[in-house]
Structure formats: structure tokens, C-alpha cells
Chains A and B, each alone.
Chain A
Amino acid sequence: MSLLELNGIEARYGQVKALHGVTLRVAEGELVAVLGANGAGKTTTLRAISGTVRRSGDVLFAGTKLPRRAEATARAGIAHVPEGRGTFTELSVWDNLRLGAYTRRGGVKEDAQRVFKFFPPLGDRRDQQAGTLSGGEQQMLALGRAMMARPRLLLLDEPSLGLAPIVVKEIFEALAKMKSEDGTSVLVVEQNANLALAHASRAYVLEVGRVVVEGTSDELLANESVRKSYLGY
């Protein structure tokens, strides 16, 4: 059974329609990528799921209809790391992690230790204001915050954006561990299609608010138009 199911989801910003019926699904424990050019609706797809943009159509999560309010989605077990990472820049690293665990009770210290093991720089900067972290550290913090929620589904928006390759590698390794150790399902939006397809089992390609291609990573890597448009060879 699918953990997440979108059937013909539409979304709009004011008068402007950004999604024209997106259908996709994520199975339990699966890492799925959403690819596409700028403005194709990748970010909006994530926002439609978490309820941070007005949508029409039902999103099914673990078989039940997902409410349209962001705080309720979080409580249902979905962690959304938004575009721009959503760091609480004025609060400390530690407070950011505590907020990640807001919907849970107990085990905060243990989980934080685990995050620090994944990302040692965060442990060193525990009491530092999060806004003073480097871009890479802030991306680690964003992922750490999501880990603290022990989500069933993680929505991740452009984790590689503006980061050095070595940091990107660490981020994706942590993601793989979350998937294997916690069984977290991941829906990741990526500009870097090569990177995304290397880690995802399946992917969807969006164009102007619609899914135009879908398939396993291998299928997409073999697809000539995908290769030309998004992989650059």
C-alpha cells in the first residue's frame, strides 16, 4: 500500500494556477524524487502536501485524508523541510532541534545525540544562534530538525542547493540512514537530477504543473528526453 497518494492535485497562488492535476505516490520506506525545471511546480507539490498552499483534491496519507493545515500535517507524521530550509535563525541550534520534536513526548535528548552523531558540527555549535551557521550546517540542522520529529514521511526541498559537493554527500548519506534505520519514506525535490536519481528508487518529472514522465530511476536514466533535458548529456 502507498503511504502517500496524490490524485489530480491542483494548487494556486491567488489567481495563478501552479499545479494542474498532479498524481503521484510514495510507498512505505521508499525514496522518491521530483524533478523538473524552475517553475515546474516541484516546490508547490510539496507545499500542497503539507498544506502550506491552497490545494484542491485529496491527499491520502496512510489511507486517510490529510488535513489542509500545516500544523495538522506535522502532527500526522509528515516533516516538511521547506525551500530556504525554514531555520529558526534567531533561536539556538538546540532550540531548533527541540522544536523538531515538538509533536512528540520524551526521547528528545537521545534523538538529539543521534543527530549530533550524524552531523558533528551541530553538536559543536549547540548553543549558537542558528542564523550564524554556514549554509551547509543550516541544511544539516534542517534535516536534523526533521529527524527529531521521527516522521513517517519526509518532504525535502532542494537539499543540495548552494552546497559544496562534500556536504551534499553527507546530507544524502544521512538521508539513506534515516530511510534504512527508521524506515522513513522520503519525497525529495531536486534540481540536480543526476544526484536525485542516484539515490531515489523512482522519480517523477514535472513540467508546468503536470507529471510528464514517471518511472524507476533506471528507466528515467535511460529515457532520452529526460537525459537531454535534465541530465545534460
Chain B
Amino acid sequence: MVVPAFTWTEFAQQIAAGIRSGAIYAGLALALVIIYRSTRVINFAQGEMATFTTFICWSLMNHGFSFWTAFPIVLAIAFVGGVAIERVLIQPVENASVLTIVIVTLGLALLLNGLMSLIWGGANRQFHGPFSTRTIDVGGVPISVQDIGIVVVSFSLVALLGLFFRYTKLGLALRAAAVNPDSSRLVGVRVGWMLALGWGIAALLGAVAGMMVAPVVFLDPNMMQTILLYAFAAAVLGGLDSPIGAVVGGILLGLTITLLERYVGFVGSTLKLPVALLLILVLLLLRPGGLFGRVAVRRV
């Protein structure tokens, strides 16, 4: 494969594209981490939940809603849906083994995927996002408005969540319930509801990632599957336990993949996933806890 000549302008564009993909991975990785922290389980249905809510957005827009009126409605539906899923499907198996819960989330993924095919059909659909694809000049580098919009929306949400977790009483209770459920109960935190709330927030993050990525790719029931794989990788890279790690991991992964694909001749678009995963493997061999995670040490 021939790699075209290097220019700084193009390099800057690639960086921007990398951050844009990274923002999507970061959002979804953060959703995975929020659920992992409270239930010690990877939610394999996270991608399908995101796609499902994106389809709801598509339907609303087909019924005459503008994107920005549909957006808050979809967020509300995603949040309530996430809470409901936890209460109905996860809570009954809360004390079961991790494997049991994983299988429930896998089943949920299949169920949602089937439902989407049933309701909306399996065909690719064009999703008209809120941002135009024309480029504007940012310090001499042409960058698409869409890329900027995706990054701004994704990171605003992450920042808002960060403030929520850090400064509100409810955010504190969510963190406490995740790290120490027994003590949380003793100070009066309703731990069960905190878990459900975590699922709601994760579903909301997924919905935003879905609505942001849909205009870039096509909307179909399997839209998030590859992206979810990257989000897993990003979450592991950051250390599964660390929300900040998920965000940093997402951006790093977005950048790495974009730059590898563009500049490393033999990688191209076919090998970018295995090469990226290989890099993560090497990093995990050196730092088993991920970039921001801590290695669990058990005293015996």
C-alpha cells in the first residue's frame, strides 16, 4: 500500500478525526466503566442499547421532530429505559455469579438486536445529524463542523457527569455505593436504586454516542458492534475501574487507530483493529491495571 506524502495540514486533520472517533469511544467506554464499577460486570448490551435509542431518535425525526427537539426526549427515554432494565433484568440476578449476569446482558443484546430488526428492518439507513459536513478553517486547518460538534457534545456530557459525580450528594452516593455497598447502606444510601441509576446514566451516555456516530456511519441494528469493541479496548486501556481512564483511553485509542491507518503502510484499514489491540496487550503486560486502574491486591 502506498502512503501519500506527509503534510502538516493533513496530519492536523487526522488528529482531529482521531479525537472525534476517540470522543465516541470515550463516551461508550465511560458507560461500560460506570456499570462495571457497581456490578463488576461488562454490559455486553451497551452497544445495542445505544443503537436502539438512536433508532428512536431516527423515528422521531421521521415524524417531523428536529434533531435538537428529539435529542432530550431520547435522552429521557434512554435514562428511564436503563433504569428499567436494571430493575427488571439485572436486579433479580444481582447476587448471582458474574457469569450469570454477563449472560443476561448478552441475552439482552440479542433481544434488542432482534427487536430493532423487527421494528425498523435490517437495512442501512441514512441518519441526518445536527451538524453540517462542510469544513471550516481552524488555524489554517480545514476541519468539518460535524467533527467539532461531536467532540463538543461528547465532552460536554462527560464534563457534566464529572461535576455531577464530584459535587452533588447523589453523585457521591453513586460513587459510595459502587466502592463500598455495605457501608453505604449503613449511612442510609439506597444501594439498589444507585445501581439502577448507574444503568440509567450508562444508557444515556450510550444514546449520545449513538446519535453522534450515526451520521458518520449508517444506522442499522449492528451499527455499534465494532464501536463497542473499541470502547471495551478503551475501557481496559484506561483501567476498567477508572472513569477518567475510560475517557483518556478512548481518546488515545481513537488517535492511535486513525494515525496507524493513515501513516503506517502495512496497517491500513484492514489491520487497524488487530494492531490496536496488540498495542493494548503490550501495555497491559507492562501495566496490568491499565493506565489509571489499580491492580487489586488481596491479602491472604
Enumerate chain A interface residues (CB-CB to B < 8 A): 50, 52, 69-71, 74-75, 79-80, 82, 86-91, 95, 98-100, 102-103, 145, 149
Q: Are B183 and A86 in contact (CB under 8 A)?
A: yes
Q: Please choose the segment from B16-24, B167-175, B227-235, B244-252 that sits at the chain A interface, where 4 or more of its residues have CB less than 8 A away.
A: B167-175
CB nearest to B186 among chain A residues:
A80
The binding surface of chain B is classed by DSSP as helix
> Cβ of B187 and Cβ of A102 under 8 Å apart?
yes
CB-CB under 8 A from A95, the residues of chain B are: 172, 175-176
Query: 8 Å CB contacts to A: which residues of B180-210?
Result: 180, 182-191
- Which residue from A52, A89, A100 sits with its C-beta under 8 Å from B187? A100
Partner of A102, one of B179, B180, B189: B189
Q: How far is the CA of A48 from the CA of B146 in the complex (A)?
A: 58
Q: In chain B, what residue has the closest Cβ to A142?
A: B183
B169 touches A102 (CB 8 A): yes
Residue in B closest to A75 when the chains form the complex, CB atoms: B188
Task: For the complex, give the distance between the alpha carbons of A103 and B186 in Å.
Answer: 10
B172, B175, B187: most-surrounded residue (chain A CB, <10 A) = B187
Partner of B183, one of A69, A82, A98, A103: A82
23 A–B contact pairs at CB < 8 A?
A52-B186, A69-B185, A70-B182, A71-B185, A71-B188, A71-B190, A71-B191, A74-B185, A74-B186, A74-B188, A75-B188, A79-B187, A80-B186, A86-B180, A86-B183, A87-B183, A88-B179, A88-B183, A90-B179, A91-B172, A102-B172, A103-B188, A149-B187
| B189 pairs with A71, CB closer than 8 A | yes
Question: In the bound complex, what is the Cα–Cα distance between A90 and B184 (angstroms)?
Answer: 13
Residue contact B179 to A82, C-beta cutoff 8 Å: no
User: Least Cβ distance of A179 to chain B in Å?
Assistant: 20
Task: Determine how close the nearest CB of chain A comes to the CB of B176; give it in whole angstroms.
Answer: 5
- In the complex, how many residues of chain B place their beta carbon closer than 8 angstroms to a beta carbon of chain A? 17
Closest to A88 in B: B180
Q: A80 — which chain B residues lie within 8 A by C-beta?
A: 186
Q: In whole angstroms, what is the CA distance A80 to B186 when docked?
A: 6
A88 touches B176 (CB 8 A): yes
User: Which B residues touch A70, using CB under 8 A?
Assistant: 182, 185-186
A70 to B175, CA, bound (A): 18
Closest to B191 in A: A71
Which A residues lie within 8 Å of B173 (CB)?
A: 99, 102
Residue of A nearest to B183 (CB): A86
Q: List the A residue with the shortest CB-CB distance to B190.
A: A71
Are B179 and A99 closer than 8 Å at their CB atoms? Answer: no
Shortest Cβ distance from residue A93 to the other chain B in the assembled complex, whole angstroms = 13
Q: Which residues of A contact B187 (CB under 8 A)?
A: 74, 79, 99-100, 102-103, 145, 149
How far in angstroms is the closest Cβ of chain A from B295? 14
- Complex CA gap A86/B187 in Å reads 10
Cα–Cα distance between A89 and B191 once the two chains are bound (Å): 18
Alpha-carbon separation in the docked complex, A88 to B169 (Å): 15
Q: How far is the CB of B294 from chain A (nearest CB, A)?
A: 9
Knowing A71-B191, A98-B172, the reply to whether A50 touches B183 (Cβ < 8 A) is no
Contacts of A102 in B (CB 8 A): 169, 172-173, 187-189
The answer to whether B176 touches A91 (Cβ under 8 A) is yes
B136 shortest CB reach to chain A, Å = 42
